[in-house]
């Protein structure tokens, strides 16, 4: 999908792509978010649950302050996230899917 340009405050637009139960619970494949750089994992979780409250308790912690341990984050299909720092750039896609790898 075409991503909106940075907003008037120069904040970044990123897309969170949803997989598994996160997709089913929200009814969405992806969510576009405006975030202020540098955004942290908990900051992203907060922004996501504001946009999709139904993800609380499904993929995002009930307090909105991070993701559930059963989920992992990947940037643009190439970089897996560990720790709190995301290092996102405008236009990045954050993939949110199960942390249980494989079958």
Partner 1 sequence: MYGYHGKALIVDLTTRQTRWETLDRTVLQAFIGGTGLGAYLLYRHCPPGTPALSPENPLIFVASPLVGSRLTTSSKFAVVTKSPLTGFIGDSLSSSYLATELKKTGCDALVITGKSESLTLLSIEDGEVQYLNAADMAGLSTFETESHVKQRLGSRTRVACIGPAGERLVRFASISNDGGRQAARTGPGAVMGSKNLKAIAFRGTNTVPVHDPAALAEVGRDLAIRSLGPATEKYRTLGTMANVSVFNRLGTLPTRNFQQSTFEEAEAVSGEVFHEAHFTKNAHCANCTIGCEHVMTTTDKGPTATGRVEYESGFALGPLVGIKDANTVIRASTLCDELGMDTISAGATIAWAMECYEKGILTHADTGGIALEFGNDEAVIACLRLIGDREGLGDLLADGSRIAAHKVGQGSEAWAMHVKGLEMPGYEPRSLQTLALALAVSTRGACHNRASAYEADLSDRVDRLQASRERGKITAEGEDFSAVLDSLIWCKFLRKAFHDFYGESADIYEDLTGWSMSSEQLQQAGERINNMKKLFNVREGWTRADDTLPQRVLEEALPDGVAAGASISANDLDMMVSAYYEARGWTADGNIPDAKLAELGLDVLITHTASAEV
Residues binding partner 1 (CB under 8 A):
17, 19-21, 23-24, 68-70, 74, 76-82, 95, 97-103
Minimum distance from CB of 11 to partner 1 (Å)?
25
Indicate the residue among 10 and 27 with the shorter CB distance to partner 1: 27
CB of 89 closer than 8 Å to CB of 82: no
- Residue carrying structure tokens 């079958």: 103
Cα 37 to Cα 1, 9, 51, 58, 96, distances in angstroms: 22, 11, 18, 26, 19
Minimum distance from CB of 76 to partner 1 (Å)?
7
Indicate the residue among 13 and 74 with the shorter CB distance to partner 1: 74
Spell out the residues 6+ positions from residue 63 whose beta carbon is closer than 8 angstroms to its own: none
Indicate the residue among 21 and 37 with the shorter CB distance to partner 1: 21
Backbone φ/ψ region at 5: left (φ over 0), alpha (ψ -120 to 50), beta: beta
Minimum distance from CB of 8 to partner 1 (Å)?
32
Minimum distance from CB of 10 to partner 1 (Å)?
28
Indicate the residue among 20 and 64 with the shorter CB distance to partner 1: 20
Q: Coil, strand or helix: which one is 87?
A: coil
């Amino acid at each position: 999908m075409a991503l909106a340009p940075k907003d008037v405050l120069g904040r970044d637009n990123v897309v969170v792509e949803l997989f598994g139960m996160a997709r089913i619970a929200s009814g969405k494949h992806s969510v576009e978010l405006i975030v202020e750089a540098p955004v942290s994992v908990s900051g992203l979780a907060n922004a996501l649950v504001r946009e999709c409250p139904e993800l609380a308790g499904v993929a995002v912690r009930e307090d909105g302050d991070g993701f559930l341990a059963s989920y992992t984050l990947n940037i643009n299909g190439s970089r897996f996230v560990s720790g709190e720092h995301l290092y996102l750039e405008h236009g990045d896609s954050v993939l949110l899917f199960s942390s249980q790898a494989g079958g």
